[in-house]
Amino acid sequence: MAQLVGVFNMSHTPFCYIPAELWNERRAGRNIREDVPWDDLESSLLKYERIQTGFATLRRELAAAAPDVVVVFGDDQAECFDFSNHPAFAIYVGEEFEGYLAPRDLNVANRELRQKATRKGHPAFAVELLRGLMRKGFDPAFCMDMPKPQVGIGHAILRPAESIIAEGTPIIPVLLNCYYAPQVTGRRARGFGKAVREVVEESPDDLRVAVVGSGGLWHSQGNGPAYLDEDFDRTILGYLENGDAARMANYFDAYQLPQGHPSQRGRGSTGMPAPGGPHGGTRETCNWIAAAATAEGMAETVVDYVPVYASPIGVAFAYAKA
């Protein structure tokens, strides 16, 4: 029987990888609300070290769980899909996949200046996951190869692969549409995560399965004037600590944005109606909700929450082990 051995959540902003000495230079090119604090160099260096400690903690705990395969919930930001075909959920069932490693300087958008990496998939269990989800009322798309080979898989998958998952461990990318209306809701993400847990527990395979939720928390993905709602993040993390994915999802979907809130617009708007709750990059929180739902009822340890004002974004790390 397959066994869920751990659930891990991490942020994946470029500020986790760009040296702290460059943070405020990066901030200078962003449209940020005037009341957002500035971190001086000393504060930025301390926050960067906390982020690296967060990665190291998840890396250590994930290695100790000794998974045979890792399922990663991440969003697609037009790396694989575009508006000719944009599924709500998609599962990669190929032998391997390729993508760009995280930036280490300010040329964040220039992929040609970054290295690529290749990681192993797990076709057999990916297909089992796909078929099991279909039996449970979900109809994910599937990819046997990269839809856009020149781009590869999205950073929401590659950054956990390079930051916390041991090289050589097979990974199943599971892509959620968090950005483009009509997006996946928090409640739907929770239902999806619960269904994944059921498929794992019903599998006859002798596999140790770990789950990663990649993204978030609050951020505006380039729109402005941007700010950081730390109360939103801390509320989400409080529910996570209690193992309460249902309240995470309900809080997310019911969240009321202030009037005239341009920083939470979606990217590449489709012009179609969007669901309630935050938008923009903050909707990556649905990846956390899906992952948390696979361990619903299990309290998670929040390793750290780091408000990075240069983005601004709430960076966090958490895990639960079965």
Q: Where are the alpha helices (DSSP H) in 14-154?
A: 23-27, 41-65, 123-135
Backbone Cα Rg of the chain: 18
* Residue-level pLDDT at 257: 80
Distances (CA, A) of 264 to 50, 124, 171: 27, 39, 31
Number of CB atoms found within 10 A of residue 60's CB: 12
Task: Please name the amino acid found at residue 289.
Answer: I
C-alpha to C-alpha distances, 234 to 13, 98, 217, 239, 240, nearest whole angstrom: 18, 34, 10, 9, 10
DSSP element (H, E) containing 287: helix 285-294
Note the pLDDT of residue 283.
95
**pLDDT at residue 303, as a whole number:** 98
Region of 120 please: left (phi>0), alpha (psi -120 to 50) or beta. Answer: beta
- 3-state SS, 133-197, equals HHHCCCCCEEECCCCCCCCCECHHHHHHHHHCCCCCCCEEEEEECCCCCCCCCHHHHHHHHHHHH
CA distance 152 to 74: 14
Pairing of strands 3-10, 208-214: parallel
249 beta partners: none
**pLDDT value, residue 266:** 58
The Cα 275–Cα 100 span in angstroms is 31
Q: What is the pLDDT of residue 262?
A: 74
pLDDT, residue 273, reads 86
Prediction pTM value: 0.96
The pLDDT, as a whole number, for residue 222 is 67
pLDDT confidence of residue 322: 81
Q: What is the pLDDT of residue 259?
A: 74
Bridge partner list, 295: none
Place of tokens 């690529």: 116
For residue 195, the surrounding DSSP H or E stretch is helix 186-202
pLDDT in the model for residue 268? 55
With 0-12 / 13-18 / 19 or more C-beta atoms within 10 angstroms meaning exposed / middle / buried, residue 99 is: buried
3-state secondary structure of 72: strand
Task: Give tens-digit pLDDT for 173-204.
Answer: 999 999 999 999 999 999 999 999 999 999 99
**Are 287 and 189 in contact, with CB atoms under 8 Å apart?**
yes
Q: What domains sit in the chain, N to C, each tagged with a CATH number? A: 3-321 (3.40.830.10)
The Cα 199–Cα 180 span in angstroms is 28
- pLDDT, tens only, 96-144: 999 999 988 888 777 777 889 999 999 999 999 999 999 999 999 999 9
Q: What is the mean pLDDT of each run of 10 residues along the chain (322 residues)?
A: 96 96 94 94 98 98 98 95 94 96 83 87 98 98 94 95 98 96 96 98 97 94 84 98 98 87 67 88 97 96 98 97 86
DSSP 85-122: B--SEEEE-SSEEEEEPPPSSS-TT-GGGS-EEEEE--
The DSSP letter of residue 133 is H
